[in-house]
Amino acid sequence: MDRYVVFGNPIGHSKSPMIHKLFAEQTGQSLDYSTLLAPLDDFSGCATSFFQEGRGANVTVPFKEDAYRLANSLTDRAQRAGAVNTLSKLADGTLLGDNTDGAGLVRDLTVNAGFSLTGKRVLLLGAGGAVRGALEPLLAEKPASVIIANRTVDKAELLAELFCDLGPVSASGYDWLREPVDVIINATSASLTGDVPPIAESLIEPGQTLCYDMMYSKEPTAFCRWASEHGAGVVMDGLGMLAEQAAEAFFLWRGVRPDTAPVLAELRRQLAL
């Protein structure tokens, strides 16, 4: 039976084994998927050992950049992201690195929410790895503009420069922005501590703006609460992104794309327990 794992540290909380088990049952695929706690100081050794037998792996914090360095070849989107969250062992035994995070975000927005990003004004909050992984797939949707806002503007400017060949992307400080936008995506970890990036409420056009938090929790995140309080038209957390990036990895490994709707419903049900 083909073996797959998710590498992380910590990793016990991961929902990936349940997600891929449901995908496998739904698609009739025979595979074994489990968690693997990789040592912080030897991801490479741990992964190399696993891939003597294993077929594929997901990679979560803090190892996505380690996986990027370990891969023998990279997809274009992984190259752009500078990080890898999916590893596949090819027929010749080498490792292909991919990044499905941005694709998962875009699919959650465009398929699950039915929201077209074409011609829209998109604001990304943060300038870390999550934003870097999202930029290529977002720009491929042909938005009117993408603004990267960050506390340290230099970091946002660097990302804007790296991706400017793909579309209209610019950098900003949080407090520079006042005009309403169509989409606000919180890619910071502020919700983990119950905080919200310091942005103006005027960025939300009541009843219209879609607000998306890459984080998720049992209760609405701090950013989702803030968005609802200020009249956002649509408010979403990142649970759908989690399911969609996993489905993209499953498709890469097995050549079949699972239906995420029942899996997302089960994730939501378990989260509410």
Nearest Cα neighbor of 23 from 210, 204, 225, 253 is: 253
Catalytic residue among 64, 142, 155, 218: 64
Contacts of 165 (CB under 8 A, 6+ apart): none
Q: How far apart are CA 124 and CA 134, in angstroms?
A: 9
Q: At what angle do helices 260-272 and 16-27 cross, to 10 degrees?
A: 140
Q: What is the pLDDT of residues 145-199, one digit of tens each?
A: 999 999 999 999 999 999 999 999 999 999 999 999 999 999 999 999 999 999 9
pLDDT for the residue 203: 98
- Domain residue extents for the chain: 2-99+240-272, 102-237
Q: Can you tell me which residue has the tokens 């209209």?
A: 168
Examine domains 2-99+240-272 and 102-237 and report if their fold is the same. yes
CATH 3.40.50.10860 is held by the domain 2-99+240-272: yes
Active site residue 142: no
Q: Which amino acid is at 113?
A: A
Q: What is the pLDDT of residues 119-129, one digit of tens each?
A: 999 999 999 99
Q: How far apart are CA 189 and CA 250, in angstroms?
A: 26
Q: How far apart are CA 72 and CA 62, in angstroms?
A: 20
Q: What is the pLDDT of residues 20-52, one digit of tens each?
A: 999 999 999 999 999 999 999 999 999 999 999
Question: What dotted CATH number matches 102-237?
Answer: 3.40.50.720
